[in-house]
Amino acid sequence: MQRLGRSLVAQPLRTCRPWATTARLSSTGPEDEPRFLECFKSYYDNAAALSHHPAGVLQDLRSCRSILRVEFPVKVETGDWMQVVGYRAQHSTHRVPCKGGIRFSTEVDLQEVMALASLMTFKCAIADVPFGGAKGGVAINPKTASVETLERVTRNYTMALCQKNFIGPGVDVPAPDMGTGAREMAWIKDTYEQFNSQNVDSAACVTGKPVHAGGIRGREEATGLGVYIGIREFLNKQSIYESLNLNPGIKGKTVVIQGFGNVGYWAAKFLHENGAKIIGVGEWNGSIINENGMDVADLYRYWQKHGTFEGFNGKFLKAKDATQVLEVPCDVLIPAALEKQIHYENAPRISAKLIGEAANGPTTPRAHAMLIQQGSVVIPDMLLNVGGVCVSYFEWLKNLAHVRFGRLNKKWEEQGKRALLDLIERNSNEPVSDDIRARVVRGPGEKDIVYSGLDDTMSEACASTIATAEEKGIDHRTAAMLLAIDKVATAAVVSGKMFSNI
């Protein structure tokens, strides 16, 4: 019997290059730091100890409800066969469907998927998104595998989920994660529909799809936009910016970002456009530092073209350690890469005043305690990077309603605004300029509504977390987790005790 774990990374029947491991961001932290799942449980236990809910309920929320492990062969272009391992974990079904991304990475293992599924439950709760938490992963390197191989793997994995009832609009709804995107979600949708051709809501089986396949405008940038909104809300809170000895707002703040993928890029873009100074960006093969600030669009184009920051305007740091960019002095630090990047060895060297966790689990419990003791404010991952699942929720609603947001009311709103401007003109005898009229009259499109909904969701979640932290005298991670535990536990208790020992 094979042991579950990292040893099962796409084991070949014969040697096959598409699964060769490539360099990626990694931590050089100490081996005695707990694994990601244990980090989550430590944070959970700290918050649960402050909760008033029954012990049985709290114990139930500490572990995953269902776990699926699948293994299947895939034939690649060379004629070789590769045995691929995939996972799907469902942490909680207090609300259905479950929700969580699917990542493609050679580092995928059972513990990582369980930790991410657990985190998703409480992300959804803190944002008032009515889903349970889930997560999936396939042990494959998407950077070296061909498109044809990725499609075969994705469709085989989806078939396995269909066969075991681990996917469906009312059961479990995947989304993109590290190593996957809209293309893979379209393959999942198409495969699911082959098995469920009579289900009129089948498009809602997965989110993060291309717009032409039932996706929603604004989904690509959603997580990065949520990171920006969360940081904005914290820096606009008087008690926080005064405690950090900062001026209010984002304008003029120096920002360092580790990770320049989808989340890191969009977070940098929104922060830069709103007045922040991006002075450092790190990736697996080096970092670029410029104390005068960098244009994010120019940097991203350079990165896309060259695959490195070397040669861009600034000081290039070779990747002896991908975490060294975290130690660059700044006002705001955004780890947007992998888990456990901030650990007890490098935490004392981190001088950022505000740490915004755009990645999942970037800080270990010991490091978190050190950062808090040093006077930093940490916006936890379960609060700051919920933008993706919020907009996935909007996409799911769109698929179930079978109509895009704004289609039914855009012209009606424009008509009402136009009538109001006409009335103002008649009463004031002053014409309204064409420019002002165009800006005032324009009704909301789908992206406008998505952005507005995400802003409202993030603002409410941040305000609740800050208020709870101040009321109880606890850090913001514990406050966010406590709020989420209360919501999930209450939902579990009021649903009744049928088939339960609680």
Point out the residues that are catalytic: 135
- Starting at the earlier edge strand, list the strands of the sheet with 81-90: 66-75, 81-90, 132-138, 98-104, 172-176
Q: Please tell me the distance from the alpha carbon of residue 91 to that of residue 68, in angstroms, as a whole number.
A: 12
Q: Please tell me the distance from the alpha carbon of residue 456 to that of residue 241, in angstroms, as a whole number.
A: 21
- Say if CB 186 and CB 219 are below 8 A apart: no
Side-chain half-sphere CA neighbours of 420 within 13 A:
10
- Say if CB 90 and CB 131 are below 8 A apart: no
Side-chain half-sphere CA neighbours of 211 within 13 A:
9
What 3-state class would DSSP assign to 118? helix
Among residues 159, 132, 136, 138, which one has the least CA distance to residue 88?
136
Q: How far apart are the first and last CA of the chain?
A: 34
Return the axis-axis angle of helices 476-494 and 110-126, rounded to nearest 10°.
80
Q: Please tell me the distance from the alpha carbon of residue 390 to that of residue 100, in angstroms, as a whole number.
A: 11
Alpha helices in 14-109 (DSSP H): 36-48, 55-60
Q: Please tell me the distance from the alpha carbon of residue 66 to that of residue 96, in angstroms, as a whole number.
A: 14
Q: Where would I find the beta strands (DSSP E) of 295-451?
A: 315-317, 332-335, 354-356, 377-379
DSSP codes of every residue in 3-20: PSSGGGSS-BSS--GGG-
Q: What contacts 24+ positions apart, CB below 8 Å, involve 51-56?
A: 51/482, 51/485, 51/486, 51/489, 53/485, 53/486, 53/489, 53/490, 53/493, 54/493, 54/502, 56/501, 56/502
Number of residues in the chain: 502
What 3-state class would DSSP assign to 102? strand
Task: Read off the amino acid at residue 375.
Answer: G
Give me Rg for the CA atoms of the chain. 23
